[in-house]
A and B are shown apart, each in its own frame.
Chain A
Amino acid sequence: MKGEAHGLDASHAIFNKPFKVELTWIDLKTPKHYSRYPEGAEMGETIKAWRVHRELRRKDYGLVSGGYGFEDTPDCEFISGGNNSKGPNSVALGRQGNFFLWGFCAPPMDMTEEARTVFLNTLVYMRGFDGKRAFARRTAPSRRWAFVYAGYLDDERLQKYGTRQFSKALLDEAKGSGATMKELLAANEAYLFRAARHVSNGPSTFSSGYFAVDADAKALGIANRDPAILERCVTELEQGEKSERALILLQRYTDQELLYARDWRVWLDANKDHLYFTDTGGYKFKLR
């Protein structure tokens, strides 16, 4: 990563407390490779950016973390992207639990004065996370990656890898076209999940899984990340309606292996106000 931040949340505490920083904005030429990402295609020729450092005294580059789905767990916050070789949504400044990624590599003398002040604010901000933990792991790619992989289908060099990222049903319907695949994904985004390649209904995995449309969730008409799907499935179990599908969905999207309606009702009533859905945590509702 180079020396410019973009896509930043200027209202965040690190830009405002205790020292208010008047950010100087520049127009940064949009990195060419950003266009391979869905968000990048809409960015235009330049993006609004904030300079963290200028030319370094010694050659160095910063680093970024994966941005898709980064904030789908409550221990994470995205603060800023940066001018990087990966993608426009990557995390240059972000926090998970007690860990803060300051992806820029410049030592203080190479930072702009504004960046030095933001760094001091970051020290103050982070003091508030003493004793917190980073608990979430990345066990599956966010569904946003599916749209990137769809573009691979039209790229001869990446086609083989891209093809491995989708279910046979999606590939058959797309007929090898990346554009058609993107349309299919957009139409079915609410029902996308990461299927495991080898274990039926098992936990999805980052490297060996593939994106599929959950026909069961789609038949219900409720997004797999909408908590309403849990209530509907428990109700169906209680009423003995389509209980096989209901049980499959409940077990697919939670970490529970309960079998009986009364047990699911007890679990859901006790936990429904504490649930969040995470793609990156394996396409599951988890307890905060």
Chain B
Amino acid sequence: MSHRILSVLLLGLVALSPAQAKLDLSVLYAGDPGPRTAEWLTFLRAHVSAANAIDRGKLTSATAKDADVVIVDAETPYKESGIKIPRGAKLTRDFTRPTILMGAAGGSTLGALDIKLDWL
């Protein structure tokens, strides 16, 4: 019965656009304090039920425990003074929260994880 209800709800969602439907998701954005984080939070809060931000360096299994999905991201490494590669989140393979790794911060995080996803 609950499966049928879920299917009906999902079908309803498919018919809607992202502007009309808010996803029942809690997202934690791990980035740098600044305008990029603010932009992400504005976007996420318009589309998911809960979105919060955390300093990337503070991302752990404990700080991510209430998140359905984590995003690891950073400001652009291209500064006026040159390229400054952001430090990645200090994650290990024991971190099992669903995690989206973006751009240079994601690449830096991959270096320590030592998995097949890598920064080529």
Residue B102, interface by CB 8 Å: yes
A134 touches which of B69, B106, B116 (Cβ 8 Å): B116
> Apart from A60-B78, A109-B43, what 14 extra A-B contacts exist at CB < 8 Å?
A19-B13, A63-B119, A66-B120, A76-B116, A99-B101, A105-B76, A120-B18, A123-B25, A123-B48, A126-B69, A126-B98, A127-B25, A137-B114, A138-B116
Is the Cβ of B116 less than 8 Å from the Cβ of A136?
A: yes
B104 touches which of A94, A98, A105, A108 (Cβ 8 Å): A105
- Which B residues are in CB contact (< 8 Å) with A66? 116, 118, 120
Question: Which of chain B's residues has its CB closest to A64's CB?
Answer: B120
Bitwise, A92-112 to B at CB < 8 A (1) or not (0) is 001011111111110111000
Residue B63, interface by CB 8 Å: no
Is the Cβ of A63 less than 8 Å from the Cβ of B104?
A: yes
Give bound CA distance, A137 to B116, whole Å: 5
User: Which residues in chain A, 254-272, are within 8 Å of chain B measured between CB atoms?
Assistant: none
- Which B residues are in CB contact (< 8 Å) with A131? 96
The secondary-structure label for the interface of chain A is loop
Give bound CA distance, A77 to B8, whole Å: 29
B96 touches which of A117, A130, A137 (Cβ 8 Å): A130
The secondary-structure label for the interface of chain B is mixed
- Which A residues are in CB contact (< 8 Å) with B10? 17-18
- Which B residues are in CB contact (< 8 Å) with A134? 93, 113, 115-117
Question: Which of chain A's residues has its CB closest to B98's CB?
Answer: A126
A120 touches which of B47, B76, B114, B117 (Cβ 8 Å): B47
User: Which residues in chain B, 61-120, are within 8 Å of chain A measured between CB atoms?
Assistant: 68-69, 73, 76-78, 93-104, 106-107, 110, 113-120
Is the Cβ of B40 less than 8 Å from the Cβ of A59?
A: no
- Which A residues are in CB contact (< 8 Å) with B119? 63, 65
Give bound CA distance, A73 to B17, whole Å: 35
**A94-B117 CB under 8 A given contacts A60-B78, A127-B98:** yes
Residue A249, interface by CB 8 Å: no
Question: Which of chain A's residues has its CB closest to B25's CB?
Answer: A123
Give bound CA distance, A116 to B42, whole Å: 13
Is the Cβ of B115 less than 8 Å from the Cβ of A62?
A: no
Question: Which of chain A's residues has its CB closest to B95's CB?
Answer: A98
User: Which residues in chain B, 10-55, are within 8 Å of chain A measured between CB atoms?
Assistant: 10, 13-14, 16-18, 21, 23, 25, 27, 36, 39-40, 42-43, 47-48
Chain A to chain B: the 6 pairs with minimum beta-carbon distance, closest first: A105-B103, A108-B43, A60-B76, A126-B98, A134-B115, A18-B13
B18 touches which of A65, A100, A117, A280 (Cβ 8 Å): A117
B contact residues vs A (CB 8 Å cutoff): 10, 13-14, 16-18, 21, 23, 25, 27, 36, 39-40, 42-43, 47-48, 68-69, 73, 76-78, 93-104, 106-107, 110, 113-120
Bitwise, A112-152 to B at CB < 8 A (1) or not (0) is 00001100101110111111111111100000000000000
Question: Which of chain A's residues has its CB closest to B12's CB?
Answer: A18
Give bound CA distance, A235 to B18, whole Å: 59
Residue A90, interface by CB 8 Å: yes
Is the Cβ of B113 less than 8 Å from the Cβ of A103?
A: no
How far does the Cβ of A5 sit from chain B's closest Cβ, in whole Å? 14
- Which B residues are in CB contact (< 8 Å) with A132? 96, 98
Give bound CA distance, A62 to B101, whole Å: 11
- Which A residues are in CB contact (< 8 Å) with B76? 56, 58-60, 105
- Which A residues are in CB contact (< 8 Å) with B27? 123
Is the Cβ of A123 less than 8 Å from the Cβ of B18?
A: no
